[in-house]
A and B are shown apart, each in its own frame.
Chain A
Amino acid sequence: MAATAQKRSAWSVIWDYLTTVDHKKIAILYLMGGGFFFLLGGLEAMLIRIQLAVPNNDFLSAGMFNQVITMHGTTMIFLAAMPLLIAFMNAVVPLQIGARDVAFPFLNALGFWVFFFGGVFLNLSWFLGGAPDAGWTSYASLAIDSPGHGVDFYALGLQITGAGTLMTGINFVTTIITMRAPGMTFMRMPLMTWTTLVAAVLIVFAFPPLTIALFLLIFDRMFGSNFFIVEAGGNTIIWEHFFWIFGHPEVYILILPAFGIFSEIFSIFARKRLFGYSSMVFATVLIGFFGFMVWAHHMFTTGLGATANAIFGVATMAIAIPTGIKIFNWILTIWGGSIKFTTPMLYALAFIPSFTMGGVTGIMLATVPADYQFHDTYFVVAHFHYVIVGGTVFAILAGLHLYWPLMFNTMLNERLGKWTFWLFFTGFHLTFLIQHWLGLWGMPRRVFTYLDGQGYNLANMVSTIGAVLMAVATLILAYNIVMTIVRNERVGKDPWGDGRTLEWSLPLPVPYYNFAQIPLIRGLDAYQIEKEENNGEMIPSEPLDDFHMPNNSFIPFVMSFGLFVTGFGALYFASGKDWAINAVSNMPVHDWALYVLIAGLAITFISMGVRSWKDDLGYYVKKEELERDLAALEEERGAN
């Protein structure tokens, strides 16, 4: 309380966020970073839809269009959707399991800054000779062929940002396994925590293949190796395997936390415990497990042969079973409940039919011979936007409204929230439903234009109009956020009134140490149990005493900045070197690049050294301070 009451200079606030290791502030950083990139990716989406609104359009040139689609996909997946989900993981999971922070707070901060600098590095390509243009999948033959440094920005930028994500994955696996409050067994963990755990495990196993693939690509393009260069004995199909061994689990990394958020929402706003909790947990784990065995369904037309195609086709269909279990469990959760149509609940309800449609087209794509027709057409574009927008983006928007009070102690305006929802929902279906047919009528994806007279004109115009509605919805959301911050109307503990899990038992704003005393967990929906049996008071599992907290640190920022600098050094070092690939070797030589490379690595390694050799023992939160805070809370409650 004392901290917020003080008047603080802008600089001290900024410095606080630059050095913070508090998961709640890192969540806000992720929300801002991911939100910024979400707007950027949305802008790119609008450029795509403007270009495709009419046939033979020249709003964007062919080369520019390829840059825009590449950056739209890459930005939305790596820099918007994942970080925004990680924002909610950071904001909610430690509170939900009764921890004072994540297992590795320093690593948490490092993960954010590495992600952020990687994203900035990637996007600076727009101003430094052109963005990557080989698609977000950057299939090797085209990526090797792509002239200029665009693909180098892609490879290095994703390498840096991917390292950040990997750190976050490791952190959450450790946190959830080791830091649960007494009594919170695995089978009492809220679904949001479960899905975060499975997604984090997926990150740990899925990102290394991407890291390796990107290194091979970097070596090929900049250091004269031949992994993907066919004339020299390389093989480009290997890239496809690497990419999709990462890429398929990646879509589950995006959707599982979304399932978690929706599970929480259904429970809260239907006032009912989750139906079939244990089968939900089982289904989540199964989806994560299957996620690693179906990557080749992205490659049915690559020519892997009938046996491989048949096996991967059937394996893919099998994923429908656990996903179906989830859908029916959610329906049965609201069945017989008491539904309140809040903004988060609207998104959650809209998610069920929308995601089901995306799911069934997924099964259609698994019917291999039919996929020969669907593959690389607008049918696929429609399918994955139905699952990613209808699933992940709906979850992000729902989570934003649901967890906003937990993060900021204010409430987003519900009326504006519902406007956003209806516009976004309508725009989404208008944009993507018709694209299924465009694909079936023979329109390939990733085309910068289409000719008149093929029957594509009307459908594309409809699609663009839908996109405009989504853009308007996003603007209303932005206005809502700004007005909420300006009005700054404080809400109190359990602002939705029906919170069931531990995070809603905390006073708002949440104290920087989260729990003065770690609570005892007596079952699933821990807070709900105490509401019914103990007047909403959590039972402490420990006496009030001093406890240890980590110090803030500027080192994560510096360490990440070093990698950012290194990226530029490595990128320009290859320019004009005759052993680099043609696309890079005929660029002007930059003599300074080597020094930049060395300087960047030096910054990172020196800061790693400082971190290793200079002991940072943290500090203790004193019993007296806790008593003061608790007394203040008591007084506040009395006043109310």
Chain B
Amino acid sequence: MRNRFKNTKLVGLMTFMLVFLAACGQPELSTLIPAGEVGQEQFDLMMLSVAIMTLVVVVVVIMFTIAVVKSRRSKLGEDFKPKQVAGNHTLEVIWTTIPIILIIILAIPTVYLVFKQADVSSAISQDGQIAEDEIVINVRAYQYWWEFEYPNEGVVTSQDLVVPTDTQVYFTLQGTDVKHSFWIPAAGGKLDTNIDGINHFYLVFDDDKAQEADRLFYGKCAELCGPSHALMDFKVNALPMDEYNQWLADMKTMEEPLEASADDAIEGQEIFNNSCIACHAVSQGGNAGAPGPNLTNFGDRHLIAGYLEHNEENLKAWISDPESLKPGNLMSGTYDLTEEEIEKVAAYLMELSVKEGSGDVSEIEALRESGSEDEDTEEGGEE
């Protein structure tokens, strides 16, 4: 009996959790399962406002229901003559004052958090100078893809954003063609990538939350930017600090393009160098801001074209007809490759992998040195 009761309880709990989780969305992309400090603060503010607003709605609905139920003509009769009331001073003072108090309760944390979350001064100065020991990532938004540059480390990548966990990650945001908006729902709110100037903000990714989401958060473009706006997704790979540093060090080894090994990949590299390299870099030798995504670690990525499963089939489909997969993209019609050539290029691109542990991490760690103490205390504070 006892066991059965326990089971019922367990089932009940599971059902409740299931419904609750369903109402919260999925950990890799829901604002209701915040993955770090910024998202958590925004979530808490949301819940405060929900609490106040629920109170308001409940009061209104109760008053409304009583008014309607009590005053039905079908109940009161056709001859009932309502008393004509011009107003009531006390009541009006009450329902003016209470909202003012509620709004003050809501306004104080709002204003506090606005200023707190806008403060990037420890990493980015007023005139845009970047502190060398901080984690700063330059984001550039293009029609339907994202470029991520790590200016302190001299690394450029695209589509897969790699960030460290348990520390403030500062972003500088810029649009190149039209306005986009950079949004990682689980980590925190969005900020637009204007074409007029650079915006700054920071996000934090908690390591335990990252593990819950398999270390991959979803990122999205949140401002209408053309036909393929809906497909302008990216992935956020949140790694512990040491793995993050190692990844940067590995990327830095790729100053020269990787030499292809398989036969068709070797041929593919040649085709790539003739047809594609004008827009797509495959090494860390060049600068950020190329016309097409940097493909240095393409083979290691999680998505094709920002939203398709990462496999060779999808890659070939993408190269042979990008327009059908991402309408309005700027790659369509800029090259002319046969099916055979596409297969070879695809083979080459899938080989573009950065060997884990190949880089010397000490240089990157030295870069963090001066700021490491601050980070330690911050981590301590959170726990």
**A residues with CB within 8 A of B:** 61-63, 65-66, 133-135, 139, 141-142, 145, 230, 235-237, 270-273, 275-279, 301-303, 305-306, 309-310, 313-314, 317-318, 320-321, 324-325, 327-329, 331-332, 334-341, 349, 352-353, 356-357, 360-361, 363-364, 366-373, 375-377, 437, 440-442, 444, 446-451, 454-455
Q: Are B68 and A349 in contact (CB under 8 A)?
A: yes
Complex: chain A residue closest to B113, CB-CB: A369
Q: Are A62 and B32 in contact (CB under 8 A)?
A: no
Q: Are B118 and A339 in contact (CB under 8 A)?
A: no
- Not counting A273-B85, A361-B53, A368-B113, a sample of 16 additional A-B residue pairs whose C-beta atoms are within 8 angstroms of each other reads A63-B327, A271-B82, A302-B192, A303-B192, A306-B118, A310-B114, A310-B115, A321-B99, A328-B91, A338-B76, A339-B72, A349-B64, A356-B61, A447-B230, A448-B229, A451-B307
In the complex, A328→B87 CA distance in Å? 11
Q: Are B82 and A352 in contact (CB under 8 A)?
A: no
Cβ of B221 within 8 Å of any chain A Cβ, yes or no, is yes
Q: Are A272 and B84 in contact (CB under 8 A)?
A: yes
In the complex, A457→B41 CA distance in Å? 28
Chain B residues positioned under 8 Å from A377 (CB to CB): 222
Cβ of B2 within 8 Å of any chain A Cβ, yes or no, is no
Cβ of B314 within 8 Å of any chain A Cβ, yes or no, is no
Q: Are B60 and A352 in contact (CB under 8 A)?
A: yes
Choose the segment among B8-16, B157-165, B171-179, B354-362 that binds chain A (4+ C-beta atoms closer than 8 Å).
Answer: B171-179
Q: Are A448 and B227 in contact (CB under 8 A)?
A: yes
Q: Are B230 and A450 in contact (CB under 8 A)?
A: yes
Q: Kindly name the residue among A133, A302, A337 whose own CB sees the greatest number of chain B CB atoms within 10 A.
A: A337
Cβ of B63 within 8 Å of any chain A Cβ, yes or no, is yes
Q: Are B224 and A66 in contact (CB under 8 A)?
A: yes
Chain A residues positioned under 8 Å from B175 (CB to CB): 141
In the complex, A352→B67 CA distance in Å? 12
Chain B residues positioned under 8 Å from A366 (CB to CB): 110
Chain A residues positioned under 8 Å from B218 (CB to CB): 442, 454
Q: Are B222 and A63 in contact (CB under 8 A)?
A: no
The minimal Cβ–Cβ distance linking B294 to chain A, given in whole angstroms, is 23
A133, A339, A448: the one contacting B73 at CB < 8 Å is A339
Q: Are A276 and B49 in contact (CB under 8 A)?
A: no
In the complex, A419→B324 CA distance in Å? 44
Chain B residues positioned under 8 Å from A279 (CB to CB): 87, 92
**Given contact pairs A141-B195, A235-B196, A336-B85, A441 touches B29 in the complex (Cβ within 8 A):** yes
In the complex, A569→B192 CA distance in Å? 37
Q: Are B87 and A318 in contact (CB under 8 A)?
A: no
Choose the segment among B183-191, B264-272, B363-371 that binds chain A (4+ C-beta atoms closer than 8 Å).
Answer: B183-191
Q: Are A454 and B26 in contact (CB under 8 A)?
A: yes
Q: Are A441 and B181 in contact (CB under 8 A)?
A: no
The minimal Cβ–Cβ distance linking B366 to chain A, given in whole angstroms, is 33
The minimal Cβ–Cβ distance linking B79 to chain A, given in whole angstroms, is 9
Q: Are A373 and B185 in contact (CB under 8 A)?
A: yes
Chain A residues positioned under 8 Å from B223 (CB to CB): 139, 376
Q: Are A275 and B85 in contact (CB under 8 A)?
A: yes
Q: Kindly name the residue among B175, B178, B218 whose own CB sees the greatest number of chain A CB atoms within 10 A.
A: B178
Q: Are B115 and A306 in contact (CB under 8 A)?
A: yes
B42, B88, B118: the one contacting A370 at CB < 8 Å is B42
**B residues with CB within 8 A of A:** 22-26, 29-32, 39, 41-43, 45-46, 48-50, 52-53, 56-57, 60-61, 63-64, 66-68, 70-73, 76, 80-88, 91-92, 95-96, 99-100, 103, 106-107, 110-111, 113-115, 117-119, 173, 175, 177-179, 181, 183, 185-186, 188-192, 194-197, 199, 218, 220-231, 233, 307, 327-328
Q: Are A336 and B71 in contact (CB under 8 A)?
A: yes
Q: Are B110 and A368 in contact (CB under 8 A)?
A: yes
Chain B residues positioned under 8 Å from A270 (CB to CB): 71, 82
Q: Are A332 and B73 in contact (CB under 8 A)?
A: no
Q: Are A236 and B68 in contact (CB under 8 A)?
A: no
Q: Are B95 and A301 in contact (CB under 8 A)?
A: no
Chain B residues positioned under 8 Å from A444 (CB to CB): 183, 220-222, 229-230
Complex: chain A residue closest to B178, CB-CB: A141
Q: Are B67 and A325 in contact (CB under 8 A)?
A: no
The minimal Cβ–Cβ distance linking A612 to chain B, given in whole angstroms, is 45
Chain B residues positioned under 8 Å from A142 (CB to CB): 178-179, 224-226
The minimal Cβ–Cβ distance linking A115 to chain B, given in whole angstroms, is 27
The minimal Cβ–Cβ distance linking B112 to chain A, given in whole angstroms, is 9
Q: Are A360 and B56 in contact (CB under 8 A)?
A: yes
Q: Are A356 and B60 in contact (CB under 8 A)?
A: yes
